């Protein structure tokens, strides 16, 4: 639920908008007119009509940079990245330092996921031309995508040195820190962003998610609530709010919101399992069982299977809970929660030796967990 990649808005960086008041061809005003009309149509997303104008332009002037870049832009917008690269390269063959072809070529490689190639071209662009904030932000974002933390941070900070209120850099550096679990630093930049755009739902939910990750659930709740005041059915805000209530063990509130989410996403087995958990923790075991089974009917879900096992344990059917929990334990013997639940089920069934053996194996293999250790001491007494 926390995945909000692709945070950069490509529209900000599009080089479609060219100042046609310069580089005019005084000898052939028809070329100027076709160029202007082509880019106007491109901005209006009338790609077929724009393409016709650029082809007309190239019929008059086969090496025209605006026509070649224009066709590259049209191809890129239509998803034909290979054709776009061909047009940009053709322009660069004639005009080796054309800014728009250089930017377009790098963007096309980024679209293909060839991030290192895109970075190489953008850095070449910066070496050729003046500092360009959109290009610096592109570089920072792309370095983030390939996991180059220091380079990404360097370029985001360069942008913020030039423009302290640059929204793309504020969002991007926030995600950079968030992905490295540096939640305090992420919050610093996202709060600056929220001052600029107090009703930005994405930022509100992102700040809320940061508090979820830090387990400061009470501090996260107001951000999710404000997002829901702006958009009552926002999936991420509802999910974050429900999860905060879950973390605070306010199961009645959590149950209500998971139910709302399930209406928005009826086939979502994760939501079914979360709703089952809220119901089980609220003592509504039969309803919880219904949702766990619904989730498992869609596809196997480890936590739905665990929920059913815990219902058996809570109902005192220890043979059934032991049988289910041992299967889950075999899947992941390092899972402290599973070790605790299996050992506790053995304890309740009167199988003290089995309970001790499970915990001892966990401890002997170098794992440590306060909940498991406390149960171990209780059983030994």
pLDDT digits (tens, 9 = 90+) for 340-373: 999 999 999 999 999 999 999 999 999 999 999 9
Reported as a pLDDT band with limits 50, 70 and 90, residue 26 is very low
Task: Give the whole-angstrom CA distance, residue 256 versus residue 238.
Answer: 10
* Tokens of residue 163, six digits: 């423009």
Q: What pLDDT does residue 18 have? A: 39
Q: What pLDDT does residue 172 have? A: 96
Are the beta carbons of 16 and 43 closer than 8 angstroms? yes
Task: Give the whole-angstrom CA distance, residue 164 versus residue 144.
Answer: 20
* Residue whose pair of structure tokens reads 């304890």 in the numeric block: 347
Reported as a pLDDT band with limits 50, 70 and 90, residue 30 is confident
Are the beta carbons of 341 and 306 closer than 8 angstroms? yes
Are the beta carbons of 194 and 203 closer than 8 angstroms? yes
Q: What pLDDT does residue 130 have? A: 79
Reported as a pLDDT band with limits 50, 70 and 90, residue 9 is very low
Mean pLDDT of 310-315: 97
Are the beta carbons of 359 and 343 closer than 8 angstroms? yes
Q: What pLDDT does residue 16 have? A: 37
- Which pLDDT tens digit goes with each residue over 141-194? 999 999 999 999 999 999 999 999 999 999 999 999 999 999 999 999 999 999
Report the half-sphere exposure of 360 (CA within 13 A, side-chain side): 8
- Which pLDDT tens digit goes with each residue over 209-263? 999 999 999 999 999 999 999 999 999 999 999 999 999 999 999 999 999 999 9
Are the beta carbons of 193 and 167 closer than 8 angstroms? yes
Helices 167-179, 133-145: crossing angle, 10 deg rounding: 20
- Which pLDDT tens digit goes with each residue over 42-98? 999 999 999 999 999 999 999 999 999 999 999 999 999 999 999 999 999 999 989
DSSP letter at 15 equals T
Reported as a pLDDT band with limits 50, 70 and 90, residue 28 is low
* Tokens of residue 176, six digits: 């950079």
Are the beta carbons of 377 and 370 closer than 8 angstroms? no
- Which pLDDT tens digit goes with each residue over 281-302? 999 999 999 999 999 999 999 9
Handedness of CA 209, 210, 214, 220 (dihedral sign): negative
- Which pLDDT tens digit goes with each residue over 77-87? 999 999 999 99
Q: What pLDDT does residue 129 have? A: 87
172 SS3 class:
helix
Are the beta carbons of 364 and 348 closer than 8 angstroms? no
Task: Give the whole-angstrom CA distance, residue 175 versus residue 223.
Answer: 17
Distances (CA, A) of 112 to 54, 91, 105, 108: 24, 20, 11, 6
This prediction has a pTM of 0.82
Identify which of 138, 95, 131 has the alpha carbon closest to the alpha carbon of residue 115.
138
Identify which of 368, 381, 379, 299 has the alpha carbon closest to the alpha carbon of residue 342.
379
Q: Which CATH architecture has domain 1-125?
A: Alpha Horseshoe (1.25)
């Amino acid at each position: 639920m926390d995945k909000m990649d692709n945070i950069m808005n490509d529209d900000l960086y599009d080089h479609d908008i060219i100042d046609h008041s310069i580089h005019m061809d005084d000898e052939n005003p028809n070329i100027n007119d076709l160029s202007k009309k082509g880019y106007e149509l491109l901005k209006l997303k009338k790609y077929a009509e724009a393409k016709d104008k650029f082809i007309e332009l190239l019929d008059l002037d086969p090496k025209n940079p605006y026509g070649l870049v224009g066709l590259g832009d049209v191809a890129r917008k239509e998803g034909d990245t290979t054709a776009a690269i061909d047009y940009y390269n053709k322009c660069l063959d004639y005009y080796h330092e054309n800014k728009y072809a250089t930017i377009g070529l790098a963007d096309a490689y980024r679209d293909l996921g060839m991030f290192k190639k895109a970075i190489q071209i953008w850095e070449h662009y910066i070496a050729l031309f003046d500092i360009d904030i959109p290009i610096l932000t592109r570089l920072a974002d792309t370095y983030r995508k390939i996991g180059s933390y220091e380079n990404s941070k360097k370029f985001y900070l360069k942008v913020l040195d030039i423009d302290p209120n640059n929204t793309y850099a504020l969002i991007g550096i926030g995600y950079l820190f968030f992905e490295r679990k540096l939640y305090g630093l992420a919050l610093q930049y996202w709060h600056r962003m929220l001052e600029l755009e107090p009703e930005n739902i994405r930022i509100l939910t992102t700040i809320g998610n940061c508090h979820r990750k830090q387990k400061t659930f009470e501090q996260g709740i107001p951000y999710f609530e404000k997002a829901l005041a702006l958009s009552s059915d926002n999936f991420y805000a509802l999910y974050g709010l429900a999860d905060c209530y879950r973390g605070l063990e306010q199961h009645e509130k959590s149950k209500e919101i998971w139910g709302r989410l399930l209406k928005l996403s009826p086939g979502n087995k994760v939501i079914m399992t979360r709703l089952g958990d809220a119901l089980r923790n609220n003592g509504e075991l039969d309803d919880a069982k219904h949702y766990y089974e619904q989730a498992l009917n869609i596809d196997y879900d480890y936590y739905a299977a665990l929920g059913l096992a815990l219902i058996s344990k809570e109902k005192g059917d220890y043979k059934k809970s032991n049988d289910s929990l041992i299967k889950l334990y075999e899947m992941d013997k390092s899972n402290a929660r599973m070790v605790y639940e299996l050992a506790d089920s053995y304890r309740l069934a009167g199988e003290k030796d089995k309970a001790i053996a499970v915990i001892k194996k966990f401890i002997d293999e170098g794992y440590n967990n306060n909940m498991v250790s406390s149960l171990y001491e209780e059983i030994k007494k």
